Amino acid sequence: MMNRTGKKTELLSPAGSFDILKAVALAGADAVYAAGQQFGARAYADNLTKKELLEGLDYLHLKEKRLYLTVNTLLKNRELERLYDYLYPLYEAGLDGVIVQDIGVLHFVREHFPGLPIHASTQMNITGAYGAKLLLEAGCSRIVTARELSLEEISHIYETTGAEIESFVHGALCYSHSGQCLLSSMIGGRSGNRGRCAQPCRLPYQICDSAGRPQAVDAAYPLSLKDMCTITYLPQLIEAGIDSFKIEGRMKKAEYAAGVTALYRKYIDLYIREGREACRVSREDLDRLQSLYIRSELQTGYYERHNGREMITLHKPSYAGSDESVLAQIRAAYLHEPDRAEAAVKVTLEKGRPSVLQITGEAGSVTVEGAAVEDAIKAPLQAEDVRKRFLKTGNSCIRLHSCDILMPQDCFLPVRAMNELRRAGIEAYERQCILRQGMSAGRTSDIDIPTWSVNDTGPVEKHTETDILVSTYEQLAEAVQHPCRRIYIDSDLYLARYREVTACITARVNAGTAEGEHRAQPAYYVALPYILRAGDSAYTERLTTLTAKGSDNANSPLIRGFLVRNYEEAAFVLGLEGGFEMVPDAGLYCFNSESIRFWAHYCREYTLPWELNRKEAGRLARFAQSAGMRTVMTVYGRIPMMVTANCIRRTAGQCPKAGTAAAASTFLQLKDRYGVVFPVAINCTHCYNIIYNSVPFSLHQQENVVKRIGADVMRYDFTTESAAECRQILSGGKPFGESCTTGHLKRGVE
């Protein structure tokens, strides 16, 4: 029985080492995802060497399984220079796909490695059909959905786009939306986007109200999600059309990866053989899963809920321990050398002619030639020595059970030549096995090695303009009094107080005209939400109507464009009529020149990400200028550390009923163990939280830094600020009584 896409559901397992790769293959994985020594989002796992990746690829292909390479970190330009050489040997050897987070990496792989399947990582945070369609058009062959999506939302993506879908079914979950997180980076310098997350979400925090009064004293670990386990939910997942079930755990031990894989294999096969009714998970198997390094309790993830207190660990998260008898059973079953394909070898040595090796087995027969056979001067070859040498198979996936030798008594062939002949024969037979099973045995290509050039002539003097982003009506009323190029209006504010917002802007325009002001009026853009999902359809429909109305109504301000925070929104704006401008925000991570090349197809400016240092940001700005793109740099604002589907207000037991006045967006606080306070915006319109940094980011008094970087636009982002604070900051003053941070501009991230 297949899923509704007409394909057998793939079971995809993690491999943090070569031994784990073999173990999960034995345990029943259809495919394995693993990282090499570079560019993987689990930098502290053992990971595989280049040699192990190539051997693992052959090993899996011989067993009719696939290998996907994780290249799912953000890459800097100097790393892009290494990416080609890193991927090319695996590409030639038949790699089955790469998993990417960085849109620049996606653009690079599509251009330089034709035919190599590209999977959009869950960290690309695809939340709906708009974003999925955009990435499919950009070259992706598979969408790894955001982990926060419901089964209905995943089904909608498939029904709308026909995309191949991969979704997580088991393992640890990030609290931040699909792993896009800056908390570890900003407080400790270890970037989750670069595979080095220090997991600060597993630490204790106190939930407080906006005045700092403690709430929910029983929720000491409000950011620590329980591990996900969906094995009892498999029939629904299969029937929803998910093509690949992904198990998390490249940092976990071999027993965990193999044990979990074996149990999911068991129940997927049971469903395929006997259907939904027979697929009932036994108490014994649930207990086995619970014993495999699970953090506290289990929950079923977001497939059947938007969020909930029951998903949070609440108390100190720790591994409950493992059942040694279960681990011993797993080791005996899967952590050993696998059975090898049987074959026979025949060696023919004839003086003055090339040496010949023939291997014959179930896959057929292959023959290879080697060095010429010589006359023996001192020590002729002995048949038994030749037999022993040619029966060695090392780490290959075949076992040679017999060796026939045809040779004269007085011939000679160097040991090195015999070893080369044996290796050539084994490789040829393995390739034949792979091809016979319908797997890829390699690609050939005449791709030119790419070259990069970065303009390092230093910053170009520019006239730097100013943008302002506002979240409240009071901030907007203040912003319109200040000269600027553009004002971004938070979309929730724009829709909730549309008449007041338009009246405020119109009054300012009319006042300027009456006073004979010659300065240009700012353009007005809408800043879209951090997360846009299928449930926001009425929201986007109203937004479409109002922005279209604005363009036709002389009494209403013209909305010229949108600030977009994710791929779903980018595709939404591209689909609007009216030629709206689009600006990718910092969270869409233009980290390298390839990402600039991608966005240059759709827009004329981008926002610098938060994790580049001055030098890296300056190089990117200079490249953007050469590509016709303008660089926007936030010079003041609270850095959004996490955007979360779970809600600390609900975790505190204070979730208001929908539609009540209490459901309006508000702020709470998280206080860490050192007393540092992080503001948390509770957005009830879209049901997500934004956890902001404890202090504002500020360069607004360091315009020389912005000029040295070469940014075209300085942007002020206002979130928690009063009108008086906005006025002071826009006039060049410091925030009221607060220290500030310059983020990563000095140190950057590894």
Give the tens place of pLDDT for each residue, 648-679: 999 998 887 654 544 456 899 999 999 999 99
Q: Which has more confidence, 244 or 195? A: 244
User: What distance in Å separates the CA atoms of residue 37 and residue 603, rounded to the nearest whole number?
Assistant: 35
Structure tokens at 563: 């600030």
pLDDT band at 442 (very low <50, low <70, confident <90, very high): low
pLDDT band at 549 (very low <50, low <70, confident <90, very high): low
361: part of which helix (H) or strand (E)?
A: strand 354-361
Of 63-72, 271-280, 485-494, 622-631, which gets the smallest average pLDDT? 271-280
Residue 112 region by backbone torsions, left for phi larger than 0, else alpha for psi between -120 and 50, else beta:
alpha
Q: Please give the average per-residue pLDDT across 30-50, as a whole number.
A: 79
SS3 content of the chain, % helix, strand, coil (to 5): 35, 25, 40
SS3 assignment, position 202: helix
What is the amino acid identity at position 709?
I
User: What distance in Å separates the CA atoms of residue 354 and residue 373, rounded to the nearest whole number?
Assistant: 6
pLDDT band at 592 (very low <50, low <70, confident <90, very high): very high
pLDDT band at 550 (very low <50, low <70, confident <90, very high): low
Q: Which residues pair with 480 in a beta bridge?
A: none
Structure tokens at 519: 């300065």
Q: Please give the average per-residue pLDDT across 94-100, as a whole number.
A: 96
Q: Please give the average per-residue pLDDT across 204-229, as a whole number.
A: 91
The residue whose two tokens read 């901030």 is 475
User: What distance in Å separates the CA atoms of residue 650 and residue 308, rounded to the nearest whole number?
Assistant: 7
Strands (E), 25-163: 31-34, 66-71, 97-100, 118-120, 142-144
Percent of the chain residues topping a pLDDT of 70: 90
What is the 8-class DSSP label of residue 179? G
pLDDT given at position 555: 45
**For residue 449, is pLDDT > 90?**
no
Please tell me the pTM assigned to this model: 0.89
pLDDT winner (highest mean) among 235-244, 407-416, 457-466, 565-574: 565-574
Angle between helices 77-92 and 614-626 (to 10 degrees): 70
What is the amino acid identity at position 571?
A
pLDDT given at position 554: 47
pLDDT given at position 663: 45
**For residue 23, is pLDDT > 80?**
yes
User: Which stretches of 391-472 are DSSP H helices?
Assistant: 415-436
What is the amino acid identity at position 276?
R
Q: Please give the average per-residue pLDDT across 137-148, as a whole number.
A: 96
Q: Which has more confidence, 704 or 166? A: 166
Q: Please give the average per-residue pLDDT across 10-22, as a whole number.
A: 94
Task: Extract long-range pairs of 368-372: CB within 8 Å, 24+ residues apart.
Answer: 368/421, 368/424, 368/425, 368/428, 369/421, 370/413, 370/417, 370/418, 370/420, 370/421, 370/424, 371/413, 371/414, 371/417, 371/420, 371/421
Q: What are phi and psi of 494, to 5 degrees?
A: -60, -40
Of 352-356, 394-398, 403-407, 687-691, which gets the smallest average pLDDT? 394-398
